[in-house]
Chains A and B, each alone.
Chain A
């Protein structure tokens, strides 16, 4: 019965997406585009903004998927992301005199490293010290906020950020080319990672073992899999993805660092993960949806719509997140063993 509901939901979703694509083409290629409201909803700039707003959410959600699929609950994505952003900023500002690309890539690497370290910290708290995983996540959030504020040099300026790379040929396609194939590198990377992680989770040895650890760690243990080692590894990998999301914010989206600049994206990413049923493509779809609400908010402000106070417009992404979490939690199925400490009986530690 549940599967049937899911199937119907996905038909409806496909239908809506097709409708959306059709409207987008119409608005951007025909005189329909004269209408202000239609432009708010379907213009190329709205779609570009959607993608840009979605990238950190996608990466954050992938981080959540990696951790939770092996059984580690991670509400600290927000903190990992912030730490990654700050690290990227520090790396970028201290290499401003390098060639731009080298300096940016260095920033990405440092963001990955620091994100990975945050993941290691989370895993250590959760596995070695058996800290409640939600509290451990909270520690990461406060810690990242504190450290980044404490060390933030408010006079530092990062010079330059990643620019768009048009993919030859594909970028010439009207509308689609502009939206999908004229993006900066980390955006492509994020989309690629969705595919990689999906395939990895469901068709490789690593994925099979990881999922077994999240569903039934003892079953994995009894066939000789080192549950906690995999959990460490995946949490570190997840942290790297969240760090990358932070790097994206500084090195590709904004170009600078601000205190608390993640502004809840880590939490929305978490909701995207739940909404997407712990599946990479599901999470990406949810992230795009959330990204779209942020784009709408932006377009409404740009279009000077004042009939609704801007504070209420800004609430949209958060409200949509709540609605999504409420409507879907009953229907999705989290990894059965997430959040539970696994006392490995075979003495590998």
Chain B
């Protein structure tokens, strides 16, 4: 790729200010035809903001965008789409109750005699599917499709609009390692056909695997460029975070004791009434971390909810410390089960945004001494408690009376962790404990989890990040379509082996 050719896309001196935050500062980006550019950076580095600017979702405070050698004004996504820029968002922008066809044509409908021409669109989808190896049924409803297929629909949506430039925002987050390979194959096909791709990720291995060129963002600025041929993961990590990063978590061997949590043939329904767990059995012993790996949406959420009393168990048993806790109330599970729960969605479950940090820190103990006396709330002990925890768990805030919604994501998560880790517990259930937070907070929380294990707490770790599972777990259970399809010791686990399990391939089966 010579750099003399006109770039298909160029962003010049992009700056974006949000109230109180510089999200992008003087960023320069070029993309050549038929090239895969990786945009690397940790959460909050400004990758998404930059892409939203290129896609017309945000207006830059300063700077220009050039497409095919001409400056353009991105008024909204419509402009971007018309200029041949397509984006596959991290959270899929698909309407679940509508068909693939309807979703693909939405906003760019084919109309015949005033009515939607669904047949023509479906034919076009089939054609594109064949051309790029993106198999999908045009008549299927999105909500019935697994995440990997939904991603294909998103890519088809862009191709249907004749996108020349494709932005893929964290596309592998919902894929097994093998599915990710499949996606890379598609990306290579697209590159051969002359498409240009911007690939946003924070995963170092993938960048080295597929990118032609790497650009690293940190704190809203470009901190460097790299050539995948000559760069190592360590170097990329250091660029991304700005200091040397431990890619592995420092922990000694586990010394497991007796089982603390036992699940026996657990069956649970999803929100739609379909089976979400089909007979899950596993044990978590004191002093070990059991990781649950799997592609998002295979029953992880329901598993955690069933254990913590937030979802009705329809069959099987949940036993904690030898006591049957099946369908016990969340409060009983917390106190009698001596358990803690770091929920996967901290905004929905883990905290009350409008409450103060102090109140959030007693969310599940507010009615007990010393936080309450009789039925009256005791403000001073609550504040004292908060001051101590904010200090121990490094929650950075000017004031414990500040409303928790105003904290950064990492500090919010540390607040939740502070609340859940500060009780005397025997069981810790951590669901996606580091989702969407900065590397510093991730390291801190990882250390805290390992420290809990070393205290003899049984830890059930559920995470969509295979790297996190591999780094922390002593044993790894893989969940697929509501079943535990295999449990392996960490020492015996490989990414490839886990990937096959995550895709539903049982060991020894010949498929």
Partners in one complex: yes
Which residues does A use to contact B, with CB under 8 Å? 1-2, 199, 203-205, 208-209, 211-212, 215-216, 218-226, 333, 336, 345-348
**Nearest A residue (CB) for B76:** A346
6 tightest A-B CB contacts, nearest first: A224-B78, A223-B107, A346-B76, A219-B93, A345-B57, A216-B95
- Also in contact, A345 and B106, with CB within 8 A (given A2-B273, A224-B76): no
A194 CB, min distance to chain B CBs, angstroms: 18
Q: A residues within 8 A CB of B273?
A: 1-2
Are A222's CB and B102's CB within 8 A?
A: no
Q: A223 to B406, alpha carbons, bound, how many Å?
A: 31
Interface segment, one of B110-118, B122-130, B246-254, B317-325? B110-118
A36 CB, min distance to chain B CBs, angstroms: 46
- Also in contact, A216 and B96, with CB within 8 A (given A2-B273, A224-B77, A224-B78): yes
Additional A-B contacts beyond A223-B106, A345-B57 (12; CB < 8 A): A2-B272, A205-B109, A209-B106, A216-B93, A219-B95, A220-B106, A223-B81, A223-B93, A224-B79, A336-B97, A345-B52, A346-B56
Are A346's CB and B77's CB within 8 A?
A: yes
30 A–B contacts from the bound complex (CB under 8 Å): A1-B273, A2-B273, A203-B115, A204-B111, A204-B116, A205-B109, A208-B105, A211-B95, A211-B98, A212-B98, A215-B95, A215-B96, A216-B93, A218-B93, A219-B94, A219-B95, A220-B107, A221-B57, A223-B77, A224-B76, A224-B79, A224-B107, A336-B96, A336-B97, A345-B52, A345-B58, A346-B56, A346-B58, A347-B76, A348-B75
Q: A221 to B106, alpha carbons, bound, how many Å?
A: 10
B141 CB, min distance to chain A CBs, angstroms: 11
Q: A220 to B58, alpha carbons, bound, how many Å?
A: 16
Are A208's CB and B81's CB within 8 A?
A: no
Q: A residues within 8 A CB of B59?
A: 347
- Also in contact, A222 and B87, with CB within 8 A (given A204-B116, A209-B106, A216-B94): yes
Q: A1 to B273, alpha carbons, bound, how many Å?
A: 8
Q: Within the complex, which residue of B57, B107, B115 is in contact with A204, where a contact is CB–CB below 8 Å?
A: B115
Q: A residues within 8 A CB of B98?
A: 208, 211-212, 215
Question: CB of B108 within 8 A of chain A?
Answer: yes
* Dominant SS among interface residues on chain B: loop
Q: A residues within 8 A CB of B157?
A: 223
Question: CB of B89 within 8 A of chain A?
Answer: yes
- Also in contact, A219 and B106, with CB within 8 A (given A2-B272, A336-B96, A346-B76): yes
Residue among A1, A199, A223 facing the most chain B CB atoms (10 A cut-off): A223
B416 CB, min distance to chain A CBs, angstroms: 25
Q: A237 to B59, alpha carbons, bound, how many Å?
A: 32
Residue among A208, A225, A333, A347 facing the most chain B CB atoms (10 A cut-off): A208
Are A222's CB and B93's CB within 8 A?
A: yes
Q: A residues within 8 A CB of B87?
A: 222
Q: Within the complex, which residue of B76, B94, B116 is in contact with A348, where a contact is CB–CB below 8 Å?
A: B76
B163 CB, min distance to chain A CBs, angstroms: 12
Q: A residues within 8 A CB of B55?
A: 222
Q: A221 to B58, alpha carbons, bound, how many Å?
A: 12
- Also in contact, A204 and B114, with CB within 8 A (given A215-B96, A219-B106): yes
Binary CB contact string for chain B from 270 to 290 against chain A (1 if under 8 A, 0 otherwise): 001110000000000000000
Q: B residues within 8 A CB of A205?
A: 109, 111, 116
Are B106's CB and A208's CB within 8 A?
A: yes
A133 CB, min distance to chain B CBs, angstroms: 20
Q: A219 to B75, alpha carbons, bound, how many Å?
A: 17
Q: A348 to B76, alpha carbons, bound, how many Å?
A: 8
B199 CB, min distance to chain A CBs, angstroms: 18
Are B107's CB and A225's CB within 8 A?
A: yes
B319 CB, min distance to chain A CBs, angstroms: 30
Q: A333 to B96, alpha carbons, bound, how many Å?
A: 12
**Nearest A residue (CB) for B81:** A224
**Nearest A residue (CB) for B111:** A205
Are A222's CB and B109's CB within 8 A?
A: no
Q: A residues within 8 A CB of B79?
A: 224
Are B93's CB and A208's CB within 8 A?
A: no
Are A222's CB and B57's CB within 8 A?
A: yes
**Nearest A residue (CB) for B115:** A203
Q: A222 to B97, alpha carbons, bound, how many Å?
A: 18
B19 CB, min distance to chain A CBs, angstroms: 14
B324 CB, min distance to chain A CBs, angstroms: 29
Q: A residues within 8 A CB of B96?
A: 215-216, 336
Q: B residues within 8 A CB of A203?
A: 115-116
Q: A211 to B99, alpha carbons, bound, how many Å?
A: 12
Binary CB contact string for chain B from 476 to 507 against chain A (1 if under 8 A, 0 otherwise): 00000000000000000000000000000000
B83 CB, min distance to chain A CBs, angstroms: 12
A216 CB, min distance to chain B CBs, angstroms: 5
Q: B residues within 8 A CB of A215?
A: 95-98
